[in-house]
Amino acid sequence: MEEKKLDLNSIIGFVLIFIILVYMLYQNKPTPEELEAQEKAEQEQVEAEEKAEPAPDEFETTAEDFKVPTVTDSTQLEAIKNQLGAFAYSAALTADDDKETVFENDVLRLKIQNRGGFVSEVKLKQFVDHDSVPIYIIKDGNTIFNINFGTTDNRILNTKDLNFHPTITNNGDNKVLSMKLKVSETRFLEYRYELKPDDYMLGFTVRSQGLNNVINGSQEVNLDWKLKGYRHAKSISYENRYTRLTYQYDGDRVDKLGQMSDDEETENNVDWISFRQHFFSSILVSDRPFQTVALTSQDLVQDEDIDTLYTKSYSAKIPLQLSGGEIDNNMSLYFGPTDSRTLKTYDKNLEESIPFGWGIFGWINKSVFIPLFAFLSGIFPYGIAIIVMTIVVRIVLSPVLYKSYLSQAKMKILKPEIAEIAAKYKDNPMKKQKETMALYSKAGASPMSGCLPALLQLPVFYALFMFFPTAFDLRQKSFLWAEDLSSYDTIAELPFRIPFYGDHVSLFPILAAIAIFFYMKMTTGQQMATQPTQEGMPDMGKMMKYMIYFSPILMLVFFNNYASGLSLYYFISNLITIGIMIVIKRYILDEDKIHAQIQVNKQKPKKQNRFQKKMAEMMEQAEQQKKMQGRKK
C-alpha cells in the first residue's frame, strides 16, 4: 500500500484555514457592553436563587427546577418570533422544557411536564399490578393532551409543543400548580391544577387572559386528549374485555364505544368521558357539558402472545367555546380505581362508567349485590363472603325452585293421561290440543309453570355474571389456591395454547363444570320424565341428553379465563341447588298427595278466565273450519 505524505499545497491549505478561524473568533468576541450585561444577568440570577425559598418536599422540586434564563441571542429570538409569534415570549424565557414538576398527595403521584403543561405521569401509590409493579395509568408518553388553535397572525399552534412556566402555591390544605403559556407577564394561557389531600380527583381549569386579540375566534379551538391503556392484569385478553370508553351525555344518558372492535362516535352535550382500563380509569369531567365531542376507540389486542403492553387506544376531540374571545373551562381529571363506592362520592354519576349490566340487571347489582357483598366482605374474608352470598341468594330463590319442581312433579303424574289423549286423538291434532289443555286446567298444572320460575332466575344469573368481573374489592384477594379472585386461578401451566381454552388449567371452572353436570343430570332427567311420548319428535330426548354434557363443557372452556370468584360462585350455587332439590324431592313433595290433590281438582268445576275462554273459542272455530273443508272435499 502506498504511503501518503503531506505536500506543499496541503500545508498551505491548513495554514489558510487556521488564519480564517482565528479571524472569525476575533470578529465574534463579545463587546465590553455585552460582557457587562451578561455578568449583571448572572449576578441577578444568583441573588434570586439565594432569596428563593425551597419548594415543599411533596413536590420534589428545587429552585434550580424553576430558574428562568434569558435568551440574549438576537438571532435566536428572531427565529422564535417567526415561528411562534406572540408566544415567542414564553419560549424565550424557558430553557428547561424537558423538566417535570412532581405533584402528589397520599394516593397520587403526578408529574406535569413543562413542555405542553400536561400530566405526563400518573402513579397510583396504593396499588400494584399482577407482577407487583406499581400501577401507572400514564407513563412514557402513552398520552397526549393538547389544545390546537389559530392565531390572528395566521399561525396554527399546539400547546403540546410550547413551553409552560410552573408556579406552586397552597390553597389551604390543597396544592395548586399553575402552568402558564405566556405572551407577557399579564397575558397568558393557563392550566391550573388543584389537588386535595387523599383524593383521586384533580381540579383542572383551562383559561386565558388577555388573548382575545391573539387567539383567532373564527377558527375552532380544539382540545385533543389521547391515551393508550396499559395492561395491568395477568390476562390481557380478559382485561381488554372490560376496557372500554364510556361517556355521559344529554343529562344522564350513558353510552359506550365498541367492546372488542374499533369504534367511533360524535356526541353532543357530553358531561364526562371515561377512558376505562378495567379496574382503573382516567375520566375527564366538565362543569358545563361539552357541546360536541368526537370519540374514537381502537382495539390494540389482536394476538395475546404479541400484543402484551397496551389494550386500547382512546381519543377525544373537544371544540372549546370562547367567551369574549377568551378560553374559560372548569374541569376535573380523575385518575384512580374503577370502584363504585369511590366514584359515587363525587356525585357526578361516574359509577355508571362501570358495566353493571343494562336495565334490571344493573339495578339488581347496584341495589342488591354491591351493598350485600360490601356488608359480607366487611365481616368475612372475601372467598368466604362469596360463599355466604351464594347461600343467601339460593335460599332467597328456593321458593322459585320449589315451584319449578312442583310443576315438574305434576306433569310427571299427568303423563299417562296425556299419553292416552294423544293416542285417542292422534288423527285430530286440534282436538288433542283442546283435551290436553282441558286436563291441565282441571288438574291445576301447566307445562309453562316449570319454565317461568327458571326464567325468573335469569336476571339474577346475568347480574352476577356482570358483578364478579367488575367487583373492585375482589382484585388481588386470595382464597385457597386462587391468588386473585378477580382473575383466573391456575393449578397448571400448559406448554402450548389451546384455542378458546388458554395456556393454563383453572380448578374452579372444573369444579363448577362437575357440579353443573350433576345438576343437569337431575333436572334433565326430571324433565324427560314429564314429557309425553309423541310421534314425530324422536330426537327431543337425545337433545336433552346432549345438553347434560354440553353445558359442563361450555362452563369448563369459557370460564377457564374468567374471574375465579365467578367460577367459585357457580360451583357453590350448583352444589346448594342440588342439595335443595334433594331435600324438596325426599322430604317436602309427596307424589301420592299431589296425585290425590289433582284428582280432587279435576272433580271441581273449573271457571275459565278470559284468556282461556278466548283460546277455547279460537280452537273451536279452527276445528269447525277444518270440518267444513273436509265436507267440501
Same domain for 423 and 539?
A: yes
Mean pLDDT of 118-144: 92
Same domain for 332 and 380?
A: no
Cell for 185? 407577564
Same domain for 73 and 155?
A: yes
Same domain for 349 and 372?
A: no
The answer to whether residue 580 sits within a structural domain is yes
Closest to 184 (Cα-Cα) out of 323, 288, 86: 86
The answer to whether residue 20 sits within a structural domain is no
Per DSSP, the residues of 194-205 read: EE-TT-SEEEEE
Same domain for 177 and 317?
A: yes
HEC profile of 179-192: EEEECCCCCEEEEE
Q: What is the pLDDT of residue 577?
A: 84
The answer to whether residue 629 sits within a structural domain is no
- In tens, the pLDDT along 161-185 reads 888 989 999 888 899 999 998 888 8
Same domain for 231 and 346?
A: yes
Last residue of a domain, one of 355, 388, 420: 355
Same domain for 519 and 391?
A: yes
The answer to whether residue 622 sits within a structural domain is no
Between 542 and 364, residue with greater pLDDT? 364
Helix count and strand count (H, E) for the chain: 16, 20
Residue 64 CA: distances (Å) to CA of 47, 54, 101, 180, 510: 13, 10, 12, 18, 61
The answer to whether residue 628 sits within a structural domain is no
Closest to 460 (Cα-Cα) out of 340, 573, 578: 573
pLDDT at 132 over 70: yes
Last residue of a domain, one of 355, 380, 406: 355
Same domain for 533 and 598?
A: yes
Q: Is 357 helix (H, G, I), strand (E, B) or coil?
A: coil
Same domain for 605 and 536?
A: yes
Whether the CB-CB separation of 208 and 90 falls below 8 Å is answered with no
Residue 160 CA: distances (Å) to CA of 85, 118, 143, 148, 325: 16, 8, 11, 9, 21
Same domain for 203 and 246?
A: yes
HEC profile of 557-592: HHHHHCCHHHHHHHHHHHHHHHHHHHHHHHHHCCHH
The answer to whether residue 533 sits within a structural domain is yes
What residue ranges in 475-558 does DSSP mark as E strands? 492-498, 502-505
Sign of CA dihedral 444, 450, 453, 459: negative
In the structure, what pLDDT confidence band is assigned to residue 42 with cuts at 50, 70 and 90? low
**Per mean pLDDT, which of 250-254, 291-295, 409-413, 578-582 is the most reliable?**
291-295
Same domain for 318 and 377?
A: no
In the structure, what pLDDT confidence band is assigned to residue 61 with cuts at 50, 70 and 90? very low
Q: What is the pLDDT of residue 147?
A: 92
Mean pLDDT of 67-76: 46
Task: Look at the chain and report how many structural domains it folds into.
Answer: 2
Same domain for 341 and 426?
A: no
pLDDT at 14 over 80: no
pLDDT at 72 over 50: no
Q: What is the pLDDT of residue 191?
A: 94
Last residue of a domain, one of 320, 355, 390: 355
Domain that holds residue 517: 364-613
Residue 73 DSSP one-character state: -
Counting other chains too, the contacts that 136-143 makes at CB distance below 8 Å and 24 or more residues apart are: 136/230, 137/230, 137/277, 137/280, 137/282, 137/335, 138/227, 138/282, 138/335, 139/230, 142/227, 142/228, 142/230, 142/310, 143/118, 143/119, 143/225, 143/226, 143/227, 143/228
Q: What is the pLDDT of residue 585?
A: 74
Q: What is the pLDDT of residue 74?
A: 53
Report yes or no on whether pTM surpasses 0.85.
no
- In tens, the pLDDT along 588-612 reads 665 566 656 566 555 555 555 555 5
The answer to whether residue 17 sits within a structural domain is no
Residue 321 sits in a domain whose CATH number is: 2.70.98.90
The answer to whether residue 380 sits within a structural domain is yes
- In tens, the pLDDT along 429-446 reads 776 777 677 666 666 666
